[in-house]
Amino acid sequence: MLDHPYTKDLMAFSVNRVYYDAYRSAARMTRLLGRPEREARDYEAAARAEGRDPQVPVGA
Protein backbone atom coordinates (compact mmCIF):
# COMPACT_ATOMS: atom_id res chain seq x y z
CA MET A 1 0.00 0.00 0.00
CA LEU A 2 2.77 2.46 0.80
CA ASP A 3 4.07 2.33 -2.75
CA HIS A 4 0.66 3.33 -4.15
CA PRO A 5 0.78 6.77 -5.86
CA TYR A 6 -2.02 8.17 -3.66
CA THR A 7 -0.62 7.03 -0.30
CA LYS A 8 0.28 10.61 0.62
CA ASP A 9 -3.40 11.57 0.21
CA LEU A 10 -4.77 8.85 2.48
CA MET A 11 -6.31 9.81 5.78
CA ALA A 12 -5.49 6.94 8.10
CA PHE A 13 -8.25 5.85 10.44
CA SER A 14 -7.36 4.68 13.90
CA VAL A 15 -9.60 2.12 15.56
CA ASN A 16 -7.90 3.05 18.82
CA ARG A 17 -9.37 6.53 18.43
CA VAL A 18 -12.87 5.07 18.13
CA TYR A 19 -12.41 2.98 21.25
CA TYR A 20 -10.85 5.91 23.12
CA ASP A 21 -13.81 8.17 22.32
CA ALA A 22 -16.33 5.42 23.13
CA TYR A 23 -14.83 4.79 26.55
CA ARG A 24 -14.66 8.51 27.33
CA SER A 25 -18.30 8.92 26.28
CA ALA A 26 -19.29 5.96 28.43
CA ALA A 27 -17.59 7.58 31.41
CA ARG A 28 -19.50 10.83 30.84
CA MET A 29 -22.82 8.99 30.41
CA THR A 30 -22.17 6.98 33.56
CA ARG A 31 -21.81 10.18 35.55
CA LEU A 32 -24.85 11.82 33.94
CA LEU A 33 -26.94 8.78 34.82
CA GLY A 34 -25.77 8.90 38.42
CA ARG A 35 -24.07 5.52 38.29
CA PRO A 36 -21.31 4.73 40.79
CA GLU A 37 -18.14 6.76 40.22
CA ARG A 38 -16.18 3.49 40.14
CA GLU A 39 -17.86 2.63 36.84
CA ALA A 40 -16.84 5.95 35.29
CA ARG A 41 -13.26 5.46 36.48
CA ASP A 42 -13.24 1.99 34.94
CA TYR A 43 -14.24 3.44 31.57
CA GLU A 44 -11.60 6.15 31.86
CA ALA A 45 -8.98 3.51 32.65
CA ALA A 46 -10.05 1.57 29.56
CA ALA A 47 -9.67 4.76 27.49
CA ARG A 48 -6.16 5.26 28.84
CA ALA A 49 -5.35 1.65 27.95
CA GLU A 50 -6.15 2.50 24.32
CA GLY A 51 -3.41 5.08 24.35
CA ARG A 52 -2.83 8.71 25.04
CA ASP A 53 -5.51 11.32 24.34
CA PRO A 54 -5.45 11.76 20.55
CA GLN A 55 -6.28 15.47 20.93
CA VAL A 56 -3.03 16.19 22.74
CA PRO A 57 -0.19 17.00 20.34
CA VAL A 58 2.79 14.68 20.44
CA GLY A 59 5.40 16.08 22.82
CA ALA A 60 2.88 18.01 24.91
pLDDT tens figures, 19-38: 889 999 999 999 999 999 99
The answer as to whether 34 is a domain residue is: yes
pLDDT at position 1 over 60: no
The answer as to whether 59 is a domain residue is: no
pTM for this model (two decimals): 0.65
In the chain, the number of structural domains is 1
User: pLDDT tens digit string along 38-60?
Assistant: 999 999 999 988 876 555 554 44
The answer as to whether 58 is a domain residue is: no
The answer as to whether 41 is a domain residue is: yes
Q: What is the DSSP string of 24-46?
A: HHHHHHHHHTT--HHHHHHHHHH
**Cα–Cα distance list, 58 to 6, 12, 21, 37 (Å):** 25, 17, 18, 30
Domain that holds residue 20: 14-49
The answer as to whether 43 is a domain residue is: yes
What is the amino acid identity at position 39? E
